[in-house]
A and B are shown apart, each in its own frame.
Chain A
Amino acid sequence: MRVGLIPTVADPRTIAVDLDDTLNNFTETLQNGEFPYDAADSLSEATFEEYLRKIRNGESEPADLLSTGYNYCRFKIHLSCYQKARARPDGVEFMRWLRRNQWRIVICTMRDLRRSNDCTKAWLKENDIPFDYLFMASNKIVFCKAWGIRHLIDDALFSIVHGEQYDVNVYYPILPVHQALPASSARGFHTFEDVKRWIQE
C-alpha cells in the first residue's frame, strides 16, 4: 500500500467535477428559490428572514462558534438548494460522454456529504449523471494533486488561481463572480463542449 505518497504519474483519463454552480444552478436557486419559514427550527420568523438575507449574500457569522443557529439554518437552506437546483443539460451530456469514452469520473464537492450524501446521490441519479466516486474536499487542488487527477472542472476561485501551481488543469464555467480574476492558466468555458475539446488535447 502507498502511504501518503503523491503519485509520480498522473492518470490522464481521470477527471474531477464539481457540482454546485458547475453542473447545476445552485446560486440562481439560492437567490430566487422559495424557502418557507418553519417554526420547528426554533427561530422567530424575523430572525429567519434576516438569516436568509445573509445566506443569500454569502455572509458568515462573525461569532467565534462553530455550531450556531445561523450555521444550521444555512445548512438547511443549502440542502434545499441541492435538491431543487437544475442540472445544466450540456453538463449532463458531457458527463455521459465521459462515461462512454471510459473516463474515470470523480465528483468532487465542498458539500458536507456527512449530511447531504443521500440527496446528492438522489440528484445525480435523477439526472442520470454517471460517476465512479463521490468525494468531499474543501481544497480540491490538494485532492486532485494527491490522487493524481490532472483535470478539474470547478467554479471556485481558489481552484482557478492555484491549479497551475500544482499541475492541475482547471476549467471553469464563466460566471459573473469570475469577472475580475487574476491571471492564471485555468480556462473559462461557456459550454461543456469546450472542455470536451480541451481535455483531449
Chain B
Amino acid sequence: MLKEFSRGFVRHKAKIESEEFGFAYLEQLLSDGSTLEYGHLADTRVLHKYKIVNITDCRMDELLQMHVMKECNVCRYFGADKNDVLCFNMDNNHRTNNTAITPEMSLALDALRECLLGLGCEPLIVTSGRGYHVWLRLDEPVENKVLFNFMVQAAARALLPLVIGGNDHRTIRFRFYPNIEVSALSLRLFGSEHANNKVFSRVLTPNVLLDEADSWKYFEHFVRNKITPTATFRSALDELEAGLSAVSRGSKT
C-alpha cells in the first residue's frame, strides 16, 4: 500500500529517520551505491535523519519494509514539477507545549475537512507530532503551481472561522507540499512514528481517532478507494477561486 501511495514521489530519493548512527551504519545505509546528501542530528533526542539520493528500487523496497516494521521512518520527496498527492501540514506554531491540539487547531482542521469534502475531495487525515497531515490523492499528476494554489485557498477557508471568531490564526502553521517556493520537500509516509515524541501517526476520521491497527486498515481503504479524480479537483479549484473572487468583490462594495 505504501508503495502504491508513493508512486508519484521522486523515485530514487528519501530521507531516513533512524535511531542508528555512526560511520559503520552510514556505510551500510549507503552500500547500494546511494549517496548521503546531508545528515541531521535532531535537537530533541539522539535521532538522526539522512537525506539519501540514488537509492535503488530494491533498497527503497527494503526501506519501506523497515518503515512498516518501525525500524526507521521513511520520508519521500515531492516531484519538482507535478505530483499526484498533496498534503497540508498543519502544526501548532508555539515554541512551547506545541504537541497539544489547541481549540484553534481543531476548529481549523474541521473547517478544512468540511471544505474539502464539500468540494468532492476526500482527505486522509493523520496525526503528526504538532498537528496533522491532511493528504489528498489524485488520479494523475497535476502541476505543482495548481496544487499549491488549491492548498493556499483551501487553507484560507480553514482559517476563516478563526479570524471571524477573533482567534489568532498565526498559532497554526500551514505548510504546503509540494511547494512552489521551496523545492526538495519531504514528508514522513503514513505508518511512521513522530521523530520527537515517537507517537504513531494515527488516522483521524470525522468520528474518531483510530488505533494503530485500524489506522492501517483505513489507510488501505483510502489508497484503494479514495482517489480524487483530477476533473473533480480542477472543479474544486474553480469553486475556491470563484469564492475568493466573490469575497474580494464583496469587500470592495
Q: Mark A1-36, 1 if CB is under 8 A from B, else 0.
A: 111110100010010000000000000000000000
* Residues 32 to 82 of chain B near chain A (Cβ within 8 Å): 36-41, 43, 46, 51
Contacting chain A: which of B20-28, B112-120, B216-224, B229-237? Answer: B20-28
**One of B28, B36, B40 near A137 (C-beta < 8 A):** B40
Interface membership of B226, Cβ < 8 A: no
Give the complex CA separation of A147 and B41 in angstroms: 11
**Chain A's interface: helix, strand, loop or mixed, by majority?**
mixed
Whether the pair A135, B22 counts as a contact (CB closer than 8 A) is: no
Q: Mark A49-75, 1 if CB is under 8 A from B, else 0.
A: 000000000000000111110000000
Which residues of A sit under 8 angstroms from B213, Cβ to Cβ?
none
Give the complex CA separation of A146 and B20 in angstroms: 10
In the complex, the 8 A-B pairs of residues with the closest C-beta atoms, listed nearest first: A137-B41, A134-B38, A135-B39, A136-B40, A67-B173, A113-B38, A143-B41, A138-B43
Selected A-B contacts with CB under 8 Å, 26 pairs: A1-B25, A2-B22, A2-B25, A4-B20, A11-B23, A64-B94, A65-B93, A65-B170, A65-B171, A66-B95, A67-B91, A67-B93, A104-B23, A114-B184, A133-B38, A133-B39, A134-B38, A135-B38, A135-B41, A138-B43, A139-B43, A146-B21, A146-B22, A146-B41, A146-B46, A148-B23
Chain A interface residues toward B at CB < 8 A: 1-5, 7, 11, 14, 64-68, 104, 113-115, 117-118, 133-139, 142-143, 146-148
